[in-house]
A = this chain, B = another copy of it.
Amino acid sequence: MRPVCIIGIGQIPVCRRHTAGLRTLAAQAVRLALRDAGVEQVDALYAGNMLADELQNQKHLAALIADESGLAGVEAVDVSAATAAGAAALRLAYLAVSSGEADLAVAVGVEKMSDGIATPALAKALDAEREVADGKTLVGQNAWLMARYFETYRPPADALAYFSVNAHANAQHNPYALFRDRPITPADVLASRFIVPPIRLLDCSPICDGAAAVVLAPADRAREYTAHPVHLLASSVATDRFRLDDRADPLFLTAAHHSARLALQRAGLELRDVDFFELHDAFSIMACLLLEAVGFAERGQGWKLAVEGEIGLCGRVPIATLGGLKARGHPIGATALYQTCEIVLQLTGRAGLNQLADPHIAMLQSVGGVGTTVLTHLFAGPDHRPVL
């Protein structure tokens, strides 16, 4: 496989309700990424999206975005893994470039959740016949996990609140984040209204609109395009039993565990090499469980990393460094591409007031459904020299 780099990024500010349409948001992100890479044409465009089918009555999005971006003629394919759709687009672009089939590929993610009521469409990530038919929803299933977590491990009542506090703090200085003016306290989280108990409003990532894109190229040509190529070291996907009810140990996210192991193995890295972790904090319980599944914390202890400040910018495992899903926002199909843009900014020293001290290796995880599908990507900064 050819080593792959990211040579350009593009993001538009996450909003509650963009006035522009879905295709326009996506094309803006694509053009920003192309401009950042200094290229006008690419070989392929892969689009991650979850809800356009329902909210915009639009399938066949990759070809539409390609046309809207002035790239008509290019290979264009839609890819998804429910709420991890953006990461699936990144993976497909990685496969296309690493296989040699494409030299330049764009991965774009877009979601315009404000065009309707997104929540029922989001539930289609679950089993329609055996979960949704019983009244289950994504937030409901996360609430069940959170309740079970508290019953099992009995952490303090505000144990998970610090995930949201950290995310909002980190979003302050991210110009693309939704919640830039809203630092919050643990008390705010515990005072916010219940969505599905025990999940409260401030445990949840917001419904919002956004688009982000990255351009990939073979590593040996990356410096023709940019002085700061970021290495995409590895990509992996693992799945769990589809339904929570079928899992012997639902508090352990097996797919997150396996996907992380697989990516580390492919990159020839150990977990201790990872300097920060952009994880899928769609709900605070999910952030906690991912830290445990990947191995940053013992089982039942993930919340301590938050309470003790270890997930902060100066902590042992920084997460959500530019706001995360919780406070940058979680426009579903776009999310992993926003995370990728943020990882590129961190690894190239361009993260502004949120800049981590000299990070070298980043891990990105995206979750489809309630831990059913997990994609992991590993990145290294421009100075990375592969171990041969």
Residues in A lying within 8 Å of B, measured CB to CB: 1, 21, 44, 50, 53-54, 56-60, 62-64, 66-68, 72-82, 88, 91-92, 95-96, 98-101, 124-129, 132, 235-243, 246, 254-255, 258, 368-369, 372-373
Contact = CB atoms under 8 A, between A and B. Distances in A.
Nearest to A92: B92
Given A53-B124, A62-B373, A77-B88, 14 more contacts: A63-B368, A67-B239, A67-B242, A73-B240, A74-B238, A76-B81, A76-B239, A77-B79, A77-B373, A78-B80, A78-B81, A79-B80, A95-B95, A101-B235
Please tell me how many copies of the chain the complex holds: 2
Contact of A125 (B44, B54, B60, B72): B60
B67 A81 contact: no
A218 to B, nearest CB: 12
Contacts of A372: 60, 63
A68 to B, nearest CB: 8
Nearest to A58: B128
8 contacts: A57-B128, A60-B80, A60-B81, A62-B373, A63-B242, A72-B239, A77-B92, A78-B81
B75 A92 contact: no
Given A53-B54, A79-B79, A92-B79, A63 B239 contact: yes
A72 B21 contact: no
A98 B100 CA distance: 9
A60 B72 contact: no
A80 B333 CA distance: 15
A44 B63 CA distance: 25
Among A21, A125, A373, residue most surrounded by chain B Cβ atoms (within 10 Å) = A373
